[in-house]
Amino acid sequence: MEQNTRPDSLASIVEEFESGRMSLGASNDELVRKLQISDFALEKDLGEGAYAFVKQGRYRWEEEAKPVVIKMMIKSKLQTESILHDFDTGLSLPIELYALRHLREHPHPNIVSMIDAFEDPQYYYILMPMHGRGEDLFEYIEKHGDFISPEKVARIFSQVVMAIAHLHRTLGLVHRDIKDENIIIDENDRILLIDFGSCAYYRGGMPLTEADVRRGKRLPYFDVFHGSIDYASPEVLRNEPYDGPQQDVWALGVLLYTLTFKEVPFRSTSDVLEGRLRLPFESDLEISAMIKAILSPDPTSRPTAEVLAEHPWIVKNYEAAMN
């Protein structure tokens, strides 16, 4: 292998991307070099979904390379609605790649970032930094159980709220798969929202192009649900067209309940549809009030993520979490 076709370190990859010398979808002639999956030593599996694998790996050409996360998206299994066509460039790529590129322009400390993206005939690859030990919130809850204090719950939850508010307000993007398994937490209880495989720009029945998104063309309603059924809102369970941001907020309520009580809030679909919300024991008054407000069966009565982000309880706990 010619040594001059590979940078000495991943730091130089990031520098090239950020300086504009390389970009997603550029031709080979435009790139300083092109990554290949063979450039990485794959160390262990981190997760697997319907159309993607997630691996931990290290860059082969860097001594004492830090571990990175590599998402491998199987091209043949990607659904049509998960592809966004950009008429300006002629490219058709997964919405997740566009969203992560968009997040490079509008980053948030509690949302995963993308180092690079590349492809081969079988896969799209997304290269991301490792966050802590890679432990997700589901594992964290299982490990700590009843030892998660209301103060810690509040600090964790406030970070997720701020991340979702950033997506809705700044990018016009809905995540659509908010759950404990898609939140990574480090040893300092800093969280990172991951997995944008189900994300979408606010739209109606027809996919938006990236040019549409740049022009601010957004329609909020969706008719296909993406995500875990435990996090599905009443309107989704009634098979109604649903407002993407309102579904994200409902999922936030399920997450807060799960963090607080270590179980999901509803035992059956009928409980969700009839609004039978039970709090198994007395908890922090602020947390209980927040759960009840968010898990309103009427989507128009739920606070938006932007409103939640400005709530004094959220602001106070977010500042405590990030300082």
Q: What is the pLDDT of residues 65-110, one digit of tens each?
A: 999 999 999 999 998 878 887 777 777 889 999 899 999 999 999 9
Please give the structure tokens belonging to residue 268.
């059956």
**189 and 281 assigned to the same domain:** yes
Q: Which of 116, 136, 177, 248 is catalytic?
A: 177
Q: What is the mean pLDDT of the chain?
A: 85
Confidence of residue 213 (pLDDT cuts 50, 70, 90): low
- 44 among annotated binding-site residues: no
Euclidean distance between CA atoms 256 and 116, whole angstroms: 32
Output the pTM of the full model. Answer: 0.86
Range of the domain at 43: 14-129
3-state secondary structure of 62: coil
Q: Cα angle at 58 between 19 and 322, to 5 degrees?
A: 65
For this structure, is 248 an active site residue?
A: no
Q: Write out pLDDT tens, residues 228-278.
A: 999 999 999 999 989 999 999 999 999 999 999 999 999 999 999 999 999
User: Which pLDDT does position 9 carry in this prediction?
Assistant: 44
User: How many residues are there in the chain?
Assistant: 323
Q: What is the mean pLDDT of residues 55-62?
A: 93
Torsion of CA 45, 49, 52, 55, to 10 degrees: -10
29: domain CATH number? Answer: 3.30.200.20
Q: Is residue 5 part of a domain?
A: no
**113 and 175 assigned to the same domain:** no
Q: How many domains does the chain have?
A: 2
User: Which pLDDT does position 81 carry in this prediction?
Assistant: 78
**143 and 219 assigned to the same domain:** yes
